[in-house]
């Protein structure tokens, strides 16, 4: 593959693939993909909207999880115009359980932009696509190449690792130098036609064969073209990322009952769960049960203006959010009075338990709703 050196640093120089390498690579990859491509629902689509939905859902989420969400979302919002016209709460309800709710909020905003500025048609122009909320370089390249066969490269987690190994790049692939090299490789290798299929083949190879740990080099169609394989350096490329240490957290949620109803809050704008609804939930600082009860009663009063009498603990959930390992205790409480509502408090609603079904809740919020 030796030709032009594209990135130098304190590491050994790395070359971009030459013509011969590129031709062989396309041929081998194309043949392999024709035999091994998985039959995924979004691969049967040419509608840019459906491809957009799948690409956004697949960010941070496994293929097996996305399948049913993808079908339900398109059934509920079959066109960009339908998505734009939908209530945000309804959109979030269809996203519930997928996590990373910012993706749904931004898709909803982007749909409104497409209706307002592009007549409801997904734009073909790369700059226009990049201006849509929630669409970065990778997503724009994926949608445009798959839906319109535009000659646009892609680089995401799987192809980042694949290209690092193919080129034998030992630096950090997320650094500026690494990004420059790997995007250049992803672009230079594109065929004249069939870029969408080619990009999907790259992602398939990265996710199914060139695995993060234990790549299946014996089954790899491009093993003879791979620098990491030649140097037996698969385990060192790319270098392991240093992850922040995990942190234990203790939280509590409160089910406040007033007759047949329970109190829910709308999660504030700018937060991880903005637009979703939740039971009042707080980080706990006390350990002893009696102190926990007074801490929670005070927190509820400060946030909502509602005075409560804490009752028993209903359940404990353990879950993780980013680097936090959370133990969430769920308490019940009785409404006593609501003397003064704070001006800057969140929007609240007293709801019949049955009506919670139509409200978007976070995963633990939904589990608590099943308790009540
Ligand atoms: S030979 Fe191994 S390391 Fe190289 S691209 Fe194939 S699977 Fe990845």
**Binding site membership of 364 for ligand 1 (Cβ less than 6 Å):** no
pLDDT at 4: 47
pLDDT along the chain (372 residues), means of 10: 50 86 98 97 93 96 96 98 97 95 97 98 97 97 97 97 98 96 97 97 98 97 98 96 92 96 94 93 86 93 95 94 93 92 86 95 94 90
**Is 109 among the catalytic positions?**
no
Atom 2 of ligand 1: nearest residue by CA position? 217
CA of 184 to the centre of ligand 1 (A): 19
Distance of alpha carbon 201 from alpha carbon 170, whole angstroms: 24
Distance of CA 166 to the CA centre of its chain: 26
Degrees, nearest 5: CA angle 40-41-46: 110
Distance of alpha carbon 110 from alpha carbon 106, whole angstroms: 6
**Binding site membership of 165 for ligand 1 (Cβ less than 6 Å):** yes
What are the residue ranges of helices labelled H in 12-47? 19-36
Distance of alpha carbon 68 from alpha carbon 182, whole angstroms: 33
pLDDT at 286: 80
pLDDT at 356: 96
Name the token pair of 78: 């079959």
pLDDT at 343: 73
What is the pTM assigned to this prediction? 0.89
> For the chain, what is the radius of gyration of the CA atoms?
25
pLDDT at 322: 86
What letter would DSSP give residue 230? H
Name the token pair of 4: 């032009």
**Binding site membership of 223 for ligand 1 (Cβ less than 6 Å):** yes
């Amino acid at each position: 593959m030796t030709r032009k050196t594209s990135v130098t640093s304190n590491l050994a120089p790395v070359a971009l693939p030459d013509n011969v390498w590129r031709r062989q690579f396309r041929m081998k990859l194309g043949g392999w993909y024709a035999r091994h491509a998985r039959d995924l629902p979004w691969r049967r689509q040419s509608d840019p909207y459906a491809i957009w939905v799948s690409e956004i859902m697949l960010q941070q989420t496994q293929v097996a999880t996305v399948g049913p969400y993808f079908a339900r979302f398109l059934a509920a919002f079959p066109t960009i115009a339908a998505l734009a016209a939908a209530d945000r709460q309804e959109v979030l309800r269809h996203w519930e359980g997928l996590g990373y709710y910012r993706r749904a909020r931004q898709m909803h905003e982007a749909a409104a932009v497409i209706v307002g500025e592009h007549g409801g048609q997904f734009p073909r122009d790369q700059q226009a696509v990049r201006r849509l909320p929630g669409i970065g370089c990778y997503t724009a390249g994926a949608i445009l190449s798959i839906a319109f066969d535009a000659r646009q490269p892609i680089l995401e987690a799987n192809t980042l690792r694949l290209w690092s190994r193919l080129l034998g790049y030992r630096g950090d692939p997320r650094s500026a130098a690494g990004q420059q090299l790997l995007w250049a490789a992803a672009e230079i290798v594109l065929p004249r036609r069939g870029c969408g299929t080619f990009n999907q083949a790259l992602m398939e190879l990265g996710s199914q064969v060139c695995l993060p740990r234990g790549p299946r080099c014996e089954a790899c169609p491009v093993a003879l073209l791979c620098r990491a394989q030649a140097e037996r350096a698969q385990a060192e490329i790319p270098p392991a990322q240093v992850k922040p240490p995990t942190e234990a957290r203790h939280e509590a949620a409160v089910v406040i009952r007033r007759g047949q109803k329970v109190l829910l809050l709308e999660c504030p704008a700018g937060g991880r769960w903005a637009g979703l609804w939740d039971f009042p939930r707080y980080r706990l600082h006390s350990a002893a049960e009696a102190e926990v009860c007074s801490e929670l009663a005070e927190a509820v009063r400060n946030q909502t203006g509602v005075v409560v009498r804490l009752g028993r603990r209903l359940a404990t959930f353990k879950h993780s959010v980013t680097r936090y390992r959370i133990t969430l205790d769920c308490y019940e409480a009785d409404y006593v009075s609501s003397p003064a509502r704070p001006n800057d408090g969140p929007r609240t609603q007293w709801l019949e338990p049955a009506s919670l079904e139509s409200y978007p809740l976070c995963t633990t919020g939904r589990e608590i709703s099943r308790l009540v």
